[in-house]
Each structure stands twice: as structure tokens, then as C-alpha cells.
Structure 1
Amino acid sequence: MQRPAYLRGKQRMTWLLLLLAATVLLAIGIGLRDPWPADEPRFALNALEMLDTGHFWIPHRGGEPYPDKPPIFMWASAASIALTGSVRLGFLIPSLLGGVGTLVLVMDLCRRLYGRRIAFIAGAALLSTLQFVLQAKAAQIDMLVTFWITLGAYGLLRHALLGPARRWWYIGCVAMGLGVLTKGVGFLPLLMLPAWGLLAWRGRATPLAWKDLGLGLLTVIGTIALWVVPMVLLTTFGDDPTLAAYRDNILLKQTGERYAESWHHLEPWYYYLAKVIPWAWLPLILGLPWLLRVWWHRLRRLDARVLLPLSGLVLLVFFFSLSPGKRGVYMLPGVPLLVLAMAPLIPGLLCKRWVHWLGAALVAVLGTIFLLAGILGALGLPALADLAAEHGVSPWGWWVVLGLSAGALLYALKPRRGMLVFAGWMAVFWVLWSTWGYQILDGTRSPRDMMQQVVGITGPDAWLAMPTFDEEFLLQSRQPTVHFGFKTPKQAQLKRAYAWLKSDPTHRWLFVDQGKQEELSCADLSSARDLGQQNGELWWLIPGTAFADCQGDADAAPLYQAPTTLKAARAGGPAL
């Protein structure tokens, strides 16, 4: 295949233009939706409580310490919400900045190693990768921790490949420490140390002095200690036993125990190779057959520029595959490493006719699926109609447009430019997803309207109890709200709820899913208000007077009160 025009001649597309396009693509949709479960409402709730209570050092969820993650992402979310004055405007900004920052780091390193043209192509490849954009548009921790991991890898590679650059090595170590304080796996760039040592021994990379290695590791530990040491002092010498439990949970259970003996998301060792990477790393994964052969030749030549990020990528997949608990987002930090490892090879890859035909075929298949599903759904095909009724959405027009756009791009650009077709169609997909898709799905993913209905029934001063709550409901609550401990057994929560409701039955209500009807057999359910369906479940609002015959126990579970002074921000309003 002849070398494509965009790989020849003067590079007219500048860094600024690509970064501007990336920022616009990743930012589209901000302000159009609420935080969606499973993770987004939890982190927004953490951030709001920090702003409400001033307790920034230890994150809380509904007044209860939240031990699953360190606080940096919550701090970033709190800052964004405070600056914008709205949850809807602020909760996605940390992921947006993490995505743009990661793109800048990858492009800058490629420019220093290979020149501006390769840097631009590598940046475009990263921006075209499915998982990268997906997570940059989600208010989960993973995009921000990927930025810290990429910055750590950037500092390490600047020293190893373009060094000596000891300052960048230490900056990378600080980033790794911040990554640990974001999600615990910020140390992943250190997986490149064995390959670095081997390449330095063979004279292919700048050696890392033992002194710099030791000081670098101390820098990582010292950065982590900036939060851990004060947290341990606060939780150890305070008089709140829940804080001591928080300390033990986050330092022990959420680190080594979570990795070695995970209690959820259990998957086989091949989960990432078989079920995540094939879709998450599209379209880059399409070039894998050719890349494996070329990487082998680079390995034999000891090309440090390719082998260092490639070794980090391989060991990252191996590291996460060893743990029994697996989630697809764990592969996100590997995407920048993959782009760095294949950056000098992308021009050659784009000259392969079969790669373009694979990209075109993929777009044709996906476009056909969307088009047919949209048409059949609009015509009332029972299976699709039932699916739409179950989730409360009718995405048929959106899907038809996606299908037609695939056909239009294939016609305009031709299959011989299949990778451009794929990149263009993904851009269309993300724009439609972030506008039309958000508007269709927000009502069914966010309980904002339901919680507005609740406060309309009870009045804004009535108290609401949420046993076995989901964070999205607590986030959207417009009135004083209590719960009974996120990990507390269900029966203990209900017994505590009964005691709480009976102490002031005319001003207190229970918000509960209808699946607990058997557990509520003692209550007079004739007075229950049916709120309908939200997030796949049916919900009841029951007045406290309905529990006169229920046996409560005020000592069965703890009682937590969620802060309530930020109602406008919880509701997605214009101001805090």
C-alpha cells in the first residue's frame, strides 16, 4: 500500500490543534448529566461531604468514613465542584484533566524520542482508543490514576532514554506516590526497572545509580507518608472507634488483602487477555499480529525506546492477572504504555492494507448492528421493546444515526482508509453519546426526579431513612437523611430503622426497595407510596406511622446522618 498522505510531507497539524480537538471531544457533555452509578455518585458524595463538613483528610460517605480509596480523587472532585458551583459541572473535570494531561505526556515523550510527526500520530492513536476516551468521560478514579502512572513512567523514561535527567526521575517518583494516594497502584512504572537495569548493563539506556534508586523509592514512600502519617495519628489517637476501623481497612484490607484475596469481581487468569483487551484497546489491538513480529525484532536489537514501555505493559497485564479480583478499568494505565511501545511503528502499520480493511470491517459490522437495532426497535420488535421498557429508554433514533454515520464515513473515505474511518466514527459516537445519549439515559440512571417526588410527598423538613442505601439516592436526597452503616447486615439495619421511625413517626419516612417486602411484613404496607422503578428496582416510600407493630432495636446498628446543607449542588443546581 502506498504511504498515506498524512504520513508524508510537512506536518501541518500542530500539537495545539490536536490538544484543542481532544479537549473539546472529552469535554462535550459536561453539565448534561448527573453522576451515574456505580462509582460516580459515591465520589461526588465524598466530595460534597468534604465541602460541607470540612473533613478533608478522611473521606466520608453519608457521615460514615469511606475506607475503600485514598482521598486525592475526592479532593480533586471537591475542588472542581467548589470552583464551578455545581456537581453537574464539576464532577467530570478531574477525569477530563487526567485525560488531557496523559495525552500531553505521551505526545511530548514521543516528540523527544521520534519527532513531531510521530508525536502527533501517537496522540491521535491514544485519542482513538476506546477505553481511553470512555474513562476520560467517566468520573471514576481510573483516569486520574492513569495520569499519575503515566507521569511516573514519563519521568522514568526521560531519565532512562534521554538522560541523565535525575530531576525527572524524582518528579516521576513523586507522581507514583500521588498515584498510590489516588488508587494504590501508582507504583506500576517501577515494573520497568528490571528491563531498565538490563538495558543499562548492555549500554542501551542511562544507568540508574543505586543512590538515585534508593532516594527515588524514599521519595515515593515520603509522598505517600504525607497523607498516611497524619491519617494514622488522627485515627489512632482519636476517640472514635470507626476511625480506627477506617485506618485498619484502608491500610490492610484495601491493599494487600484486596489484591491477594479479593472478595468480589472474581475472574479467571485469562480475563484481561480474552474479555477486556480485545475491545478496550481497539483499534490499536487490530495491529497486534504485525506488531508482535516487529517487537520481536526490536527486542533482538535491544531498542530501549520500545522495550522499556513494552516491558512495563507486559508486566502490568501479568500483575493484574495474578489477582483473583479483576475489573476492566485496571487495564487503562496500559493504554499509554501501549501507544509508547508502538509509536515508531504506527506509520508502517498504517501502510498495511489489511489493517485498514479490518478497521473498515469493524465499523461496517458495528454500524449495521446499530442501524438494524434502531430500525427494529422503532418498529416495535418485542425483544427490543421489552428491553426499552425495562430500562425506561428509547434510543432508536440515536442508534439509527450511528448506523447511518458509519455508512457515510465508509462511503466518503473508502475502506482503504479504514483506520481513519474508525477514528472518525468513534468521534461521532462520542459526540452523540455525550449529548443525545446523556439526555436519553440521565433520567433512568439518575434518581434526581424520584427524590424530587419524595420531597414533594414528605415536605422538605421531614426526615428520611435509607436502609441498605445506594449512593445515588443519598446524593440526590433533598431533605435530612439517615442510614445505618453501608456494611451493616440488612436485618440489623431494619431493626435500627424501626426504632428510629417509631421515635417520631409523624415526621419520619422509610425509603426502601420493594424487594424487601418479606422483611417488612410487620409494617402496614397499605400506606406505602409506590414510587415506580429506578435503577432496575421498584421503590416504596413508607410513613413512620406504618411501623407501629414492628419491633425495633436502637442498638442493632449505628445511625449516620448525611450532611444536608448542599441541597442545590446535590440536585445539580447552579450553585452550592
Structure 2
Amino acid sequence: MKPCLPLSRARPLWLRDARWELLLFGVFALLLLGLGIGLRDPWPSDEPRFALVARLMVEHGQWLFPHRGHELYPDKPPIFMWLQALAYLVVGNWRVAFLLPSLAAGLVALALVYDLARRLWNHRSALLAATALLLTIHFTYQMRNAQIDPLLLGWITLANYGLLRHLLLGPAWRWFAVGCFFAGVGVATKGVGVLALLMLIPYLFARRRGWHRLALPVGGWRWAGGLALFLVPILGWLLPMLLTARADGDPQHAAYVQNILFGQTVHRYATPSGHFHSPFYFLGIIAADWLPLSLLLPWALPAWWRRLKRHDARFLLPLGWIVLIVLFFSFSPGKRDVYILPALPMMALALAPLLPGLLRRRDVRATVFGLTALLSGALTLAAALALHRHPAWAGRIEQSLDPQIWWLLLSVGVAGLLIVASTRVRRAPLGWLLFAGVLWGLYGLWGYPMLNGDRSAYDVMAKARGIAGPDATIGLLAWKEQNLLMAQGPVAEFGFLKPWPQQYADAITWLRQAPAQRWIFSLDEAMGSCVDRHHAIHVGHANRREWWMFRADAVIPGCTPGAGTDEDDTP
């Protein structure tokens, strides 16, 4: 393997100096992933839950056992919420802090893909690979969300980087230790972080078959020592939690330990409660969500096959790892698009040496041009129909989105058509880059403020406080995390997981203890027929739900609402 050239001597892609290209790319990546931070609050489905847990950590100091209201939250390890809380302690603003871990993970993943591809091939291929990853729809969308999966992508990419520095560019035992350590951090963030270590399977296969471009490190104890570091971050979280739960004897803590170690890992994989899809589900995700990167696969697949037949381990390791990841999640009945998100950086890495040649092909450029034109035209047509003809489907969308959304989509669509007309087929890759910049820029700067009031429940909670007055206490019945997170002034809640009839009974008892100073804020379905709506106040519509406020005079004596269930929020 020839040594990697320093950036000062690297052949640039389009500017005179590769260092300026890298700086420009970094600024563009920061804008594409970061525009809009500070302009919105957490949105469902998961963002309000994690932000609420993080805020309660800061307020009450319960770091080992996260809480959602007064109940424990055992669904996920606390690493992501710790980072959100830490970001808040640094910047002092939740609107900014809750998105910073995802932003950092996205930028780190881009930097690692670039650096590894530069070391394996060259600067031009590396910059195109990082750009292809950044402009992939699934990557950009997820990195702009405050969920655990973007952070998991960051940890797994760090782990893969360390492993590949050792396995392909080594021996580099320190990097092997780094890879194992961050695989452990991934486990402490979300149990599937251990999948990073599957990279060793294609490595062992290639080593046994004598593949080229492979490092051949020796030293059995070093392998064992590196793998032992995998356990360090896991035990760093696990041991204090277990010791605390054992010392205090709290049965709720014992139940939390049982759930977090078994219920949310093995049990959830083997017998999931939802998101059921066919074994081929992820093929559709790759085809649709990984655009425009997936458009290159018809040309990339035969090129990869030719290189695999030449026994080039630089392709076998990332591609073999991707196949193992997709197979692993395909065997589980429950599937979500984000499960295979960590495979995206490795896909971009495997494409790196092919991209300079692929993007010079007219048929490839024509395909990218067609995608940009199709999306721009579809957005323009849909928005124009919604504004001028107002079909039934537009009315249904406006039930959960601000009608101004059509002007946003029209602006993006028209801008896309202008970009298509100016770049044409010859510069189609640049056209997609500009279109992506317009799309995510307008979404962040215009869409975030426009949609935030309803999506975050800020508007409905502000109206609830206006109805109750500044001093009254509002009791939350059948609430969602965004309601408690966005609540203003004194509030009370009666449990999150508790069945609605029990919540209702507790709420009515609480209400009658001080009827002059207390109100109930309730989901419509949770009230059943036990609240006289003529004496209640309709607060509004938020997150596809109707919300009401009532006092003791609206309660029908002796009535118990039937059991109800609530569907999950969707982003």
C-alpha cells in the first residue's frame, strides 16, 4: 500500500488546492445538517421523549435511572440523553442542545469516511464519497433529527474506522483498540452497537483465502486486549447502575435493570411488538431512502464484483459488513428504516474509488438529472394543485400541517426546476447538490418555524396556560411527552404508562382536592363520555389529536371512561 499523500500535495477535485476543497465541504456540510437549529423544539415521535428525559436529568440529578415524568424510562440506555444534557449545560438552550449530538455524529461520520477513503485511495475519491454520503436523503434527514440512531451511526462509524485502519492499513493496534472501544460505546447507547465487530468476519475470510490489500497483524494477546476494551464502556455504565439498584433495593430499579438488559434487546429482536415487515423490506429502503446513492448501484455492483474477483480486501470488508448488517436485521420480524442506517457510511466508502469514473458517464449523469427533475416537478405540481384546486388529499394533509407548507414546497420545486434548467445533464451531480441545499435550507429556516407550533405542541400548551391562568396547576391526562415538555407553569401528571381509566380516576381525585386552583388537560378519547363538553373548553388540535381542558364542574359523577389506547406519534 503506497503511503497517503498529505493534503498539500493531493490532486484537487475542482479547486487549485485540496485543502480549500475540504474546508468548503466542511462549511457546506455544517450548513446542510445544521441550518434551523434553534428554530424549533423537539418533534414527535421520539425527540420529545429523549429531550424530556434529558431535562429531568439536569433538573433532578437522576443520571443512572432516567425518568419520563415520575415514572422510570427503561426503553433505552441513557447515553444519548446524557449527551443532550451535557450539551444543554454547555450552551444553556434546549432548542439548540437537543440537536447537537446528532449534528456532531453526522459531521464526525463524514470526516471519517473522507479520511479513510483518502488513505485507501486518494483525495478526489474521498471527497466525492463524503459528498455522496452527505447528499443521500436518508443520511441528511436522520442527522437533522434528535434520535438515538444518528448517534449510533456515529459510534459504529468510529468503530469501523478504527477496525479498518488496523485490518487494511495496519498493523495499528491502537486503532484496533479504538474500534473495539467505540463498538462498546455503541452497545451502551443502543444494544446493536456490537454489530461493528462483525467486520472481523469478512476479515478472517479474506485472511484465510490470502486476499490482497490486507494487513496481517500478529499477536494473540493484542487481539484479546483490544476486544477486552469493548467491555470497558459497557461496564462503565452497567456496573454503577447494577450496584445502585442492588444497594437501594428499590423494586422499580430492579424492574428497570431487567427491562433494559433483556426486554429491550434480545426480547425486542426476537419478539417485537410492532413494525412488522417482510424479509425484503430493507431492499426497498435502500432503493428509495438511499437516493441518489442507490441510483449508482446498477453500475457499482458489476464493478464491485470485478474487484472482488481480484481479491481486493478494500471492497470485501465494507461490503461484506453491509451484507451481514442487512441480513441480521432482516431475520427479525420487526424492522424500521433506521436499523440499517449505520451501513450508509460503509456504502459510501466502497463507492469511493468508483465515483470519479461513474460521474463522468453520461448515463449516470442523466439518471441523477432525471431524479432531480422528477422530484422538483412533483413538488411543484403537488403544491400548485393544493393551492389552486385544493383537492381532498390536500385537505387531509392540512389537518396535521400548516397550510403554508404548500408555499414552502412550491418554492423548493420551482427552485429545483431552475437548477435543472441551468445545470442540465452535463452538470447533473452539481444540480443535485444545489437542489439538496435549497431543500434542506428552506426546510430548516422556513419549515421549522412554520411547523413548530403544532408539531411540538408548543401552541396548544401555551393556549392551555392562557385558559388556566398563571397560577393554576394543570393536570395532564393521557398526555404525550411533548405535552409535559412544552407545558408552561405548574403542572401535575398521573403516570404515562398507566391505563387511561386509572389516570382519569387519579386525575378526578386530584382535581376535587382543590377545584378552584386546578384544571385537567386531556386527550379527547381519554375523557370518554364522563366529561360534559358543554362545560369543557376545546384547546385545539396538535399532533393529530384533539385536546380539552375542564374543571370539576364538567365531571359527570359516577362515570368511568372505558379503556383506551393511543397510537404512536409519527414524524
TM-score by length of 1: 0.91
> In 2, are the aligned partners of 1:499 and 1:551 still within 8 Å (CA)?
no
> Where does residue 566 of structure 1 map in the other structure?
none
Deviation at residue 418 of structure 1 after TM alignment: 2.1
- Larger CA deviation: 290-299 vs 214-223: 214-223
Aligned mates of 1:70, 1:211 — CA distance in 2: 31
Aligned mates of 2:551, 2:279 — CA distance in 1: 49
Aligned mates of 2:229, 2:344 — CA distance in 1: 26
> Where does residue 298 of structure 2 map in the other structure?
289
- Larger CA deviation: 371-380 vs 51-60: 371-380
Aligned mates of 1:460, 1:213 — CA distance in 2: 62
Spell out the pairing of 1:13-92 with structure 2 (5 A cutoff): 13-92=20-99
- Larger CA deviation: 399-408 vs 314-323: 399-408
Structure 1 residues 39 and 58, CA gap change in structure 2 (3 angstroms): same
Deviation at residue 239 of structure 1 after TM alignment: 3.7
> Which of 443, 464, 471 is residue 481 of structure 2 equivalent to?
471
Is the partner of 2:38 in helix, strand or coil? Answer: coil
> Where does residue 567 of structure 2 map in the other structure?
none
Q: Is 1:266 the counterpart of 2:273 in the alignment?
A: no
> Where does residue 490 of structure 1 map in the other structure?
500
> In 2, are the aligned partners of 1:260 and 1:324 still within 8 Å (CA)?
yes
Percent identity, aligned pairs only, is 43
> In 1, are the aligned partners of 2:521 and 2:547 still within 8 Å (CA)?
yes
> Which of 415, 434, 455 is residue 425 of structure 2 equivalent to?
415
Q: Is 1:137 the counterpart of 2:144 in the alignment?
A: yes
Deviation at residue 17 of structure 1 after TM alignment: 1.9
Structure 1 residues 495 and 112, CA gap change in structure 2 (3 angstroms): same
> Which of 533, 546, 549 is residue 538 of structure 1 equivalent to?
546
> Where does residue 4 of structure 2 map in the other structure?
none
Structure 1 residues 460 and 210, CA gap change in structure 2 (3 angstroms): farther
Deviation at residue 392 of structure 1 after TM alignment: 4.3
Aligned mates of 1:431, 1:6 — CA distance in 2: 27
> In 1, are the aligned partners of 2:52 and 2:68 still within 8 Å (CA)?
yes
Amino acid at match of 1:278: A
Spell out the pairing of 1:291-370 with structure 2 (5 A cutoff): 291-370=300-379
Amino acid at match of 1:338: M
Deviation at residue 537 of structure 1 after TM alignment: 1.4
Give me the CA root mean square deviation.
Answer: 2.1
Spell out the pairing of 1:142-221 with structure 2 (5 A cutoff): 142-201=149-208, 202=210, 204=212, 205-207=214-216, 209-221=219-231
Q: Is 1:372 the counterpart of 2:381 in the alignment?
A: yes
Q: Is 1:381 the counterpart of 2:390 in the alignment?
A: yes
> In 1, are the aligned partners of 2:478 and 2:526 still within 8 Å (CA)?
no
- Larger CA deviation: 37-46 vs 377-386: 377-386
Structure 1 residues 397 and 6, CA gap change in structure 2 (3 angstroms): farther
Structure 1 residues 551 and 232, CA gap change in structure 2 (3 angstroms): farther
- Larger CA deviation: 393-402 vs 23-32: 393-402
Q: Deviations over 1:433-488 (max 9, x none)?
A: 11111122112212112111111222333222223221111100113333333222
Structure 1 residues 491 and 210, CA gap change in structure 2 (3 angstroms): farther
Deviation at residue 157 of structure 1 after TM alignment: 0.1
Aligned mates of 2:530, 2:421 — CA distance in 1: 65
> Where does residue 3 of structure 2 map in the other structure?
none
Deviation at residue 265 of structure 1 after TM alignment: 1.4
Aligned mates of 1:292, 1:197 — CA distance in 2: 23
Deviation at residue 220 of structure 1 after TM alignment: 1.1
> Where does residue 526 of structure 1 map in the other structure?
534
> In 1, are the aligned partners of 2:29 and 2:107 still within 8 Å (CA)?
yes
Q: Deviations over 1:327-363 (max 9, x none)?
A: 1111210110101111111112112221111111111
Structure 1 residues 375 and 8, CA gap change in structure 2 (3 angstroms): closer
Aligned mates of 1:10, 1:339 — CA distance in 2: 25
Structure 1 residues 342 and 291, CA gap change in structure 2 (3 angstroms): same
Amino acid at match of 1:32: L
Q: Deviations over 1:194-236 (max 9, x none)?
A: 1111222315322354433322332112220111111111123
Amino acid at match of 2:537: R
Q: Deviations over 1:216-274 (max 9, x none)?
A: 33211222011111111112332432211111110110010011111121211111112
Count of equivalent residues = 547
Aligned mates of 1:484, 1:319 — CA distance in 2: 40
Deviation at residue 385 of structure 1 after TM alignment: 4.4
> Which of 413, 416, 422 is residue 406 of structure 1 equivalent to?
416
Is the partner of 1:237 in helix, strand or coil? Answer: helix
> Where does residue 128 of structure 2 map in the other structure?
121
Structure 1 residues 9 and 471, CA gap change in structure 2 (3 angstroms): closer
> Which of 231, 236, 239 is residue 246 of structure 2 equivalent to?
236
Amino acid at match of 2:25: L
Name structure 1 gaps, 5 residues minimum. Answer: 557-576
- Larger CA deviation: 358-367 vs 239-248: 239-248
> Where does residue 570 of structure 1 map in the other structure?
none
Name structure 2 gaps, 5 residues minimum. Answer: 1-10, 564-571
Deviation at residue 11 of structure 1 after TM alignment: 5.4
Deviation at residue 548 of structure 1 after TM alignment: 6.7
Structure 1 residues 387 and 547, CA gap change in structure 2 (3 angstroms): closer
> In 1, are the aligned partners of 2:477 and 2:494 still within 8 Å (CA)?
yes
Structure 1 residues 440 and 327, CA gap change in structure 2 (3 angstroms): same
Aligned mates of 1:152, 1:431 — CA distance in 2: 31
Amino acid at match of 1:472: Q
- Larger CA deviation: 111-120 vs 197-206: 197-206
TM-score by length of 2: 0.92
Amino acid at match of 1:340: L
Is the partner of 2:76 in helix, strand or coil? Answer: coil
Aligned mates of 1:174, 1:162 — CA distance in 2: 19
Deviation at residue 420 of structure 1 after TM alignment: 2.3
> Where does residue 426 of structure 1 map in the other structure?
436
Aligned mates of 1:371, 1:333 — CA distance in 2: 33
Aligned mates of 1:383, 1:548 — CA distance in 2: 38
Q: Is 1:510 the counterpart of 2:516 in the alignment?
A: no
Aligned mates of 1:259, 1:537 — CA distance in 2: 31
Deviation at residue 423 of structure 1 after TM alignment: 2.2
